[in-house]
Structure 1
């Protein structure tokens, strides 16, 4: 078999999960400042679903084939000139940057050195693939919201990939955490540290009380949840309403100028320092991976289908290669 080629998950047109297939593409070579990672596992993220379905076609264009996969765990296979922190065989994890796009759903991926961190000792690489997205929760709570001990935190989508990490970290940061999730996942949300877990389908936002920080991972009904903020409260969202993108993004922008409590929107773009913080939280026992199900690489389409169906408990992870 030609070792200059590798397996990767591709799609040749926008559409549902069935457009995904495993094909063969040239194996990348690391350039200056880059590491080549042999991928062990990656997780499926909501942004990939939007990209694959065509909702982001104005940004992504119509050049095919396109790739999927945003985060990864694995081992360094080689590195380019100027790399000093990593050597072949090092166990690592990371997230591709905004300019890199998708592509970790493959046997190998090249990544700038600053996008890679050492995998915490004792952490299985398949389980660990559920965690790089937790850098988004760290940024949301620590940097964007400035969450303080004793404050009331509401996490919307508390059983999902970012949400479950936010529940764990909110508790570790000393907040009183309320998690909104499906009824079937309320036990998990409590287990992860929420002081209160509420079925999002059984209560109106107005009945939830007041909060100092609201972290939204859903993107709908932002006005209603913004109305729950105490004076001086902060709301952070990592999503917007894809059924009404212009209206939703417009509301987020206007919130900075009108009414109580600005809605801060951001898209995660983690670097080494963020991954190091994540590793420290894992080492301290404040954060653990939550894996709903593991799929083989050939069933990446099934993993996308499962995430689209809703109700995920943590993350869907795809195993690329065994250790």
Structure 2
């Protein structure tokens, strides 16, 4: 079967099309014929070697974490699925497994039936950013119309889901995005929009109960200037050193720095499936063919787009 793989850390130039054996499944796995897979920032962080302490340096490595497709084979202990089912899901270990192949073997507990009201590209967009959004929402605790929340970098895939979940909670949300993203931020539930190309949110007088930095560019040190006295800063893109440091510093500060570490699960995905059933908007910015994988990753790594970028396999 065809797959996208790399044999050393580096830029998109290390990616190549290779022939791999079709995987054999274990008793608790399903074999999925991949129709589409999503691009996430973690893909290139791993590929560039930034996460090698967790990903290891064993090659070859495939790329990608979440996918959608159809079931080709079912393990002996798997229940609830049949051959031909349209599904979506995520690999168990995103640091060491990839989905960029015509067929993948996946633990059945991390696979779900695709809702009929979304296509394969939209389904492949859900698991990673959706889980991160639900995890962030739960970390925020009790929120209401009186809760002032700032979402920085609000119209990528993560922000797309988070804004819609926050709207359903009734929170007062300010979104920081590009000029092109303003319309989407409002559609997804933002009460106020700040165009970062025209205004610097850090220079404004407004203060927030919760600041979540989806861009990874603001940082807790800068965010403190716009946080209320007992506010929290949510960091879904921490550097490894920030995880222990945040715990120590939180002991001495009323403004808290909380790291978001998320893992897809049935609990979180059921929340997302309910949201999809109730009209969750999933914006696919651009779809690339399997042969255009280098262009797809180069496009995604530049950033600045709305929603998600997808690679399809015909």
After TM superposition, the score normalised by the length of structure 2 is 0.92
- Please name the residue that 1:237 is paired with: 235
- Does 1:284 find its partner at 2:278? yes
Shift of 1:94: 1.1
Q: CA distance change for structure 1 residues 276 and 250 in 2, over 3 Å: closer, same or farther?
A: closer
| Counterpart selection for 1:171 from 154, 167, 173 | 167
Shift of 1:260: 1.7
- Does 1:129 find its partner at 2:127? no
Instruction: Please list the CA deviations of residues 252-298 of structure 1 after superposition, one character each: whole Å capped at 9, or x if unmatched.
Output: 3333222123222133211122222111001112x211111000112
- Does 1:71 find its partner at 2:66? yes
After TM superposition, the score normalised by the length of structure 1 is 0.89
Which runs of no fewer than 5 residues in structure 2 stay unpaired?
Answer: none
CA RMSD of aligned residues (A): 1.9
- Please name the residue that 1:265 is paired with: 259
- Does 1:197 find its partner at 2:197? no
- Please name the residue that 1:86 is paired with: 81
Q: Is the 8 A contact 1:70 1:101 kept in 2?
A: no
- Please name the residue that 1:313 is paired with: 306
Q: How many residues align?
A: 310
Between the aligned partners of 1:272 and 1:135, the Cα distance in structure 2 is 10
2:255 partner SS: coil
1:134 partner SS: helix
Which runs of no fewer than 5 residues in structure 1 stay unpaired?
Answer: 1-5
Between the aligned partners of 1:188 and 1:257, the Cα distance in structure 2 is 38
* Deviation >4 Å, runs of 4+: 248-251
Q: Which moved more, 1:43-52 or 1:252-261?
A: 252-261
Shift of 1:128: 2.2
Shift of 1:95: 1.6
